[in-house]
Structure 1
């Protein structure tokens, strides 16, 4: 793996964390939205990531543990899935969106968990930025070796 590929890996990691932050923002924004129907109620969304391995190298590098030691070449967002936890029905017969039984359905969004996830995503994004800065500094040092 070349030092230049660090930029690709960190860049795709930043893109993945940006997607994660966007879904968290959507979840928090819809945390208090209500519906009178279970099917129309907002459900929490979560991105699914996968590590893409570099298949173009062709050789295992002589390692006995080549499959276990394989380094990822980028991060890929496979998609965004809806949370499977149950919705929160509340008995509020005076609410304008209440159904015929007086229930209003709230999303399955836990704001505390979303905030913790947001801190984790922003720190992961920041770590990828630091990796790119370190790789840039290392490449600049390589250019000054011949002086």
Structure 2
């Protein structure tokens, strides 16, 4: 494995974690988004899964987005007969987004992103030192 392989692995990890942060931010932004008509479904939490990818040229693995799916957890209901999305019983379906889960997910993604960035910086530093030794 050479320096470019290490940089490629870290870059793929950073891209994946950036997308993970984007999904969590979208979920947080929509945690109160209900349907607009009676009985309509609200925003459904998005999920993200990753997959290992192999660079056939170098033989080095990285990470990529496998799928952005939807959490199939049932919606909770809230009694609010004045809401436009309330059903005949006055119940409104609420999004299946937990702010705590999303915040924890953003913290984990941020730490992973930082770890990959740190790896890139160390690799760059090692490469610079190697070039300086060759002078």
What is the TM-score of this pair, normalised by structure 2? 0.90
Are 1:126 and 2:111 matched, yes or no? no
In 1: Cα distance, 2:19 partner to 2:134 partner: 42
Structure 1 gap ranges (5+): 59-71
SS of residue paired to 1:89: strand
| Aligned residue in 2 for 1:48 | 49
For this pair of structures, how many residues does the alignment match? 133
**How many angstroms does 1:57 deviate by?**
5.5
Cα RMSD (Å): 1.7
In 2: Cα distance, 1:133 partner to 1:12 partner: 15
Q: Is the 8 A contact 2:5 2:58 kept in 1?
A: no
Structure 2 gap ranges (5+): none
Q: Which runs of 4+ in 1 moved over 4 A?
A: none
What is the TM-score of this pair, normalised by structure 1? 0.83
| Aligned residue in 1 for 2:132 | 144
